[in-house]
Amino acid sequence: MKKVIAAFVTIFSALIVSAMEPDVWFASVDKDKDGRASPAEWITKNKAEAARTGREFNEVKALEKFKERDLDKDGFISLKEFLATKGPTLG
Ligand SMILES: [Ca+2]
Ligand SMILES: [Ca+2]
């Protein structure tokens, strides 16, 4: 029985961590903490991720993705838009 409980605890804590990740990720994009990602913040994050993973950075593509995820076209990605689109991915 103890083993079963331990397994559940492991699963649930994994779920909680994965549920929290998008917020944490978004916070790392939203450097000025105004609750939305500006194009400049988006590019900064994309650049950093590209450098970290050794990929080539393409600013035009990054901005295209930004526009795709800016659902209400106000020029910013809100956390809601971020979660409604693909969550913590740059694509
Ligand atoms: Ca911001
Ligand atoms: Ca928006």
The predicted-structure confidence for 42-59, as pLDDT tens digits, reads as follows 999 999 999 999 999 999
Ligand closest to the CA atom of residue 38 = 1
> Could you tell me the distance, in angstroms and rounded to a whole number, from the CA of residue 5 to the centre of ligand 2?
42
* pLDDT tens, residue by residue, 65-81: 999 999 999 999 999 99
Answer whether residue 13 shows pLDDT above 70. no
Cα of 5 vs centre of ligand 1, distance in Å, is: 41
pLDDT value at position 16? 55
Q: Spell out the domains of the chain, with CATH numbers in brackets.
A: 22-84 (1.10.238.10)
Q: Cα(79)–Cα(44) distance, rounded to whole angstroms?
A: 17
Distance CA 66, CA 85 (A): 11
Which pLDDT value is given to residue 9? 72
- Residue 52 burial (C-beta neighbours within 10 Å; 0-12, 13-18, 19+): exposed
